[in-house]
Structure 1
């Protein structure tokens, strides 16, 4: 057996495509392709699933971040312009900072989970902080309630928390799903996500009526009413009806699909040899990615490639080291980001998706277990 892919999206249709094709065909036949009942229905369903007050569909997860950033600034009117985030999550929160004129401040991470260190976040927060972004990376969930408690105890009740949930649809902390834990949250429905569309799509969710109203205006030109712009920096960012219809079909299957992902992760965890450690959050995970840490990452990758196992690296460059951002403002935590820096050359992603066959999972386990450092 060779060439086990990191993901194979064709299998979504192969394993149950009739309802998806029917939903898409019915939507196309309706002649209503934007701002219609399919988007309205999915947003209501997803808000109920997350446990948030309202969901606003947008074109993609990056737009969701930028619009949510602007909504927080517009509504909360923070004194500062700094956004505390992490440097190891693909650059998406940093992009939103740069587009909105905010300054990223990079907190360090915890090695075992690769999630933000709450201690490091607290060390970054000060008079110039606008808000904090908690990225639920690789399917793991940041303990947002504990962060909120610690921020409040430190006198930072005015500092909002934005959850970046692009890699953690359905994960929970203390029985509550991510997206319902902070002031506002963003989701991507990129096809490979735990809940993925058949193209680009995203959402913003919040229980704060002012924030959702601001986000809803900003995602459609900043309108206060049709053709009347009530706030600056609006844009055109819509979740289209076909993608909304597809997401409505997939949403009821999300928890089952997440369970299959976690089962794959646990198989790898049991098979991993000495010197190879599975990344896993101490709170909860929905196993968006199966990521391992190894001091001999490149040799391990060559070994797996020879065994026919596809691999990737999420992510090979820290945000603060991106060459295109060299001249843009940023700040590191007072203690720097040593754990994030030490992790980059050790990260390796293995195949992990709900449609993996049993023989494929076993083959990856055998290939992983046969590695000798």
Structure 2
């Protein structure tokens, strides 16, 4: 029995009837693009996050890029974020012509170290972009204080934090806008690509609706450029609308798996996930840390257990971002993490038998390494 880092087939078999009905509902609706399913999902997703507007988009990268554009960020501006993230966060900033400016992360949570933000703000800074990584939130109380002091908007990257909360506030409701990905692996995942940007600001929302549809306000009439073809698919919207009703169940299952991992690995010497005070973690990934990371991953393959590294290359060290001028050693915590972190299998349909296999194999591998 091999154990994958992620899988959806068991979940699909359990939910198959509802998913196929979702497809049939769209195909029988008479409208295949920006129809009732997109509207209903947008309304439900906005209500879930206690904001006024949700704009469905084609993927999470464009949710960030169009979110930035809708907030007026463009050529020559600077956006403060982190390099310990998936590359799309930074690709989106680059796409709008802005410059990503990085701060390091906390060695405990692996999230943006907000205490470093003020020192990199310049007159060109136009947005703060915290990444709620792995399933828990950046310190938004501290970040909002910085935002107020410097009169800067916040765009939350919530691709990995659907349903996460901080002191009761849900991720995505704590900034001026928030971007979500519905890539299949996400806590709320589609059966293909999808994304959304949410906001309570009517101007940002109006800009987003124009941007996703060629720059049009009404059909066939472009009111302003730039404009893009970046619409959420009707079928994916209908699937997501139905899965949204099951989101709390998905999260509960992830938390139960995380608890079993924590109990089974507590005395192994692995650095297990740290949950910041006030955070309600949704465990999109179960990220652990060890200096012998690469040896462990290799040895685990012989047990039929596949692990993943999130992320092996900090964004600022990639050749595609060499133009930003960062050198190795400029973000020490981020760079150290990249050499040590890895993630265990984590998805709602992961069985207890599979979880036990992961735990037992890890314990044996660590014992064999004398660690």
TM-score category by the smaller chain?
Answer: over 0.9
Q: How does 1:125-144 map to 2 (within 5 A)?
A: 125-144=121-140
Aligned to 1:184: 177
Aligned to 2:234: 241
Distance 1:30 1:246 in 2: 14
Partner SS, residue 24 of structure 2: helix
Q: Which structure 1 segments of 5+ residues have no match?
A: none
Distance 1:230 1:368 in 2: 58
Aligned to 2:16: 17
Q: Which structure 2 segments of 5+ residues have no match?
A: none
Distance 1:336 1:279 in 2: 25
Mapped pair 1:329 → 2:324: yes
Which among 189, 197, 202 is matched to residue 196 of structure 1? 189
CA displacement at 1:330 relative to structure 2:
5.4
Residues 115 and 281 in structure 1, CA contact (< 8 A), matched pair in contact too: no
Residues 114 and 279 in structure 1, CA contact (< 8 A), matched pair in contact too: no
Residues 84 and 132 in structure 1, CA contact (< 8 A), matched pair in contact too: yes
Partner SS, residue 52 of structure 1: coil
CA displacement at 1:216 relative to structure 2:
1.0
Residues 147 and 154 in structure 2, CA contact (< 8 A), matched pair in contact too: no
Residues 128 and 152 in structure 2, CA contact (< 8 A), matched pair in contact too: yes
Mapped pair 1:313 → 2:281: no
Moved more, 20-29 or 202-211: 20-29
Moved more, 55-64 or 14-23: 14-23
CA RMSD of aligned residues (A): 1.9
Which among 328, 345, 348 is matched to residue 342 of structure 2? 348
CA displacement at 1:280 relative to structure 2:
3.3
Partner SS, residue 217 of structure 2: strand
Which deviations, in whole Å up to 9, do the C-alpha atoms of 1:114-137 show, x marking residues without a partner? 111111222222322111101111
Residues 84 and 104 in structure 1, CA contact (< 8 A), matched pair in contact too: yes
Which deviations, in whole Å up to 9, do the C-alpha atoms of 1:195-233 show, x marking residues without a partner? 011111100100111111111111111113322222222
Aligned to 2:6: 7
> Residues 243, 22 of structure 1: CA spacing in aligned structure 2 closer, same or farther, 3 A cutoff?
same
CA displacement at 1:331 relative to structure 2:
5.8
Aligned to 1:263: 256
Q: TM-score, normalised by structure 1?
A: 0.93
Aligned to 2:355: 361
Moved more, 337-346 or 262-271: 262-271
Partner SS, residue 204 of structure 1: strand
Q: TM-score, normalised by structure 2?
A: 0.94
Residues 59 and 240 in structure 1, CA contact (< 8 A), matched pair in contact too: yes
Distance 2:225 2:6 in 1: 40
Aligned to 1:212: 205
Residues 218 and 234 in structure 1, CA contact (< 8 A), matched pair in contact too: yes
Mapped pair 1:251 → 2:250: no
Distance 1:125 1:285 in 2: 29
Which among 102, 110, 114 is matched to residue 110 of structure 2? 114
Residues 104 and 330 in structure 1, CA contact (< 8 A), matched pair in contact too: no
Aligned to 1:52: 51
Q: How does 1:25-64 map to 2 (within 5 A)?
A: 25-64=24-63
Mapped pair 1:93 → 2:101: no
Which deviations, in whole Å up to 9, do the C-alpha atoms of 1:302-351 show, x marking residues without a partner? 2322222111111111111111232x33568xx93110011101011110
